[in-house]
Amino acid sequence: MDLTTEVEKSHILTFFTQCINRLKGSDKMLPQVHLMKELCLRGFAVHHSGILPILKEVVELLFQKGYVKILFATETFAMGVNMPARTVVFDSIQKHDGMELRTLNAAEYIQMAGRAGRRGLDTTGTVIVLCKQPKLVEPGQLQLIMMGKAAPLVSQFRVTYSMLLNLLRVEHLRVEDMLQRSFVESASLREGPKRKSNLEKVHSALFKLNY
């Protein structure tokens, strides 16, 4: 199967060659590189943690340019900021998380399904879930995944003494400025009005008690 035109093939080959030339001589001859080149020229590509970082970057850029028509990818690709597609197909709604085989949660589904629909190009996006298991997925289970809410983001940012010392060594950078740009500080600022309102209620209650 071939999904690209001769003009697209020329652009893909030029771009792919320019990127791969950054590798050392022996690395350019790796079977993985040759296979990916042949796939990309036909409009296909693969993206997962097992391929070379430079190949992942090439695939991402070709996908953004519209030269890769069909991409087989793991969920890590869905973390890309600007990686929309016309259609997203789930091979399964189960995954192995390193410990057990489990069903995707709502956040994981939303992250991947949210890629469907290209802004300015598609009026709608299509999401397809393949039912290949011996037992069909229960409708209620699918509804929980599709209609569930994404888990709230919780910042893991922690200020340590070594971090503060390293920041003090950098000129033209104040610790306060760096903290203001962090996600945890952003969340704290959003909670500011609510905390102020609660504080005013407490003050009012204490005033009534003559405190």
CATH of the domain at 110: 3.40.50.300
More confident residue, 47 or 140: 47
Among the candidates 114, 147, 180, a domain finishes at 147
* Residue 154 within any structural domain of the chain: no
Mark whether 141 and 170 lie in a shared domain. Answer: no
Mark whether 175 and 127 lie in a shared domain. Answer: no
Rounded mean pLDDT of the chain? 85
Report the pLDDT value the prediction gives residue 57, as an integer from 0 to 100.
Answer: 94
Q: Quick one: what percent of the chain has pLDDT higher than 90?
A: 35
More confident residue, 168 or 133: 168
When pLDDT is cut at 50, 70 and 90, the band that residue 59 belongs to is very high
* Residue 84 within any structural domain of the chain: yes
* Cα-based distances in Å from 182 to 4, 76, 160, 177, 187: 43, 23, 14, 9, 9
Among the candidates 125, 147, 169, a domain finishes at 147
Mark whether 20 and 117 lie in a shared domain. Answer: yes
Question: How many CA atoms lie less than 13 Å away from 137 in the CB half-sphere?
Answer: 20
* Residue 165 within any structural domain of the chain: yes
pLDDT in tens, 111-163: 888 888 888 888 889 999 888 767 777 788 888 888 877 677 777 777 788 88
The H helix count followed by the E strand count for the chain is 9, 6
Q: What does R_g of the chain's alpha carbons equal in angstroms?
A: 25
Strands 126-129 and 87-90: parallel
Domain that holds residue 199: 161-208
Mark whether 138 and 81 lie in a shared domain. Answer: yes
Mark whether 101 and 58 lie in a shared domain. Answer: yes
Report the pLDDT value the prediction gives residue 187, as an integer from 0 to 100.
Answer: 64
Among the candidates 147, 173, 196, a domain finishes at 147
When pLDDT is cut at 50, 70 and 90, the band that residue 207 belongs to is confident
Number of structural domains in the chain:
2
Can you give the pTM of this predicted structure? 0.68
pLDDT in tens, 62-114: 999 999 999 999 888 887 667 889 999 999 888 888 889 888 888 888 888 88
Answer yes or no: is pLDDT of 56 > 90: yes
* Residue 152 within any structural domain of the chain: no
* Residue 108 within any structural domain of the chain: yes
Answer yes or no: is pLDDT of 178 > 90: no
